[in-house]
């Protein structure tokens, strides 16, 4: 049985790929020790996103790179495992950060039973007319 002694960090882009990011964060909070969102975006963008999904995260990455944010989180939270849920664009981030493991958002969603967002074709955005 896997340990729940886990620090889990989501990239902002990974949250955008989930159909219900607040549901994923609430679910993950049940089986993680520490949970938060990291990005290289300015702090105000990160805080706005946290408000949008309606979740109080345990850590903010602040105005720094994702590797710097993950290293800082690692220094502040002592757990058995550290997992970064990201996208293809951020898959190489953990190679520069001690103790972190990368998990693609699609693999994390499949393992946890979260739904990925679907894209809507431009002509499907408008109400159907008969």
Domain positions in the chain are: 9-124
Q: What is the mean pLDDT of the chain?
A: 85
Average pLDDT over residues 52-76: 84
pTM for the model: 0.84
The better pLDDT of the pair 48, 97 is held by 97
pLDDT at 1 over 50: no
pLDDT in tens, 71-121: 999 999 999 999 999 999 999 999 999 999 999 999 999 999 999 998 544
C-alpha 64/C-alpha 23 separation (Å) is: 27
3 state SS of 103 = strand
**Phi-psi sector, 6: left (phi>0), alpha (psi -120 to 50), beta:** beta
pLDDT at 125 over 50: no
In the prediction, which pLDDT does 28 show? 95
Q: Tell me, what DSSP letter sits at residue 104?
A: E
**Token output for 127:** 């109400």
Judged on CB neighbours under 10 Å (0-12, 13-18, 19+), 118 is exposed
Q: CB-based contacts of 98: which residues, under 8 Å, 6+ apart?
A: 71, 74
């Amino acid at each position: 049985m896997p340990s729940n002694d886990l620090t889990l960090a989501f990239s902002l882009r990974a949250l955008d790929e989930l159909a219900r990011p607040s549901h994923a964060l609430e679910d993950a909070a049940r089986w993680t020790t520490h949970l938060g969102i990291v990005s290289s975006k300015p702090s105000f963008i990160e805080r706005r996103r946290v408000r949008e999904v309606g979740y109080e995260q345990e850590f903010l990455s602040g105005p720094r790179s994702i590797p710097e944010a993950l290293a800082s989180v690692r220094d502040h939270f002592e757990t058995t495992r550290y997992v970064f849920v990201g996208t293809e664009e951020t898959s190489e981030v953990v190679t520069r950060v001690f103790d972190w493991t990368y998990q693609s958002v699609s693999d994390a969603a499949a393992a946890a039973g979260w739904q990925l967002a679907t894209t809507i074709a431009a002509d499907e955005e408008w109400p159907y007319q008969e």
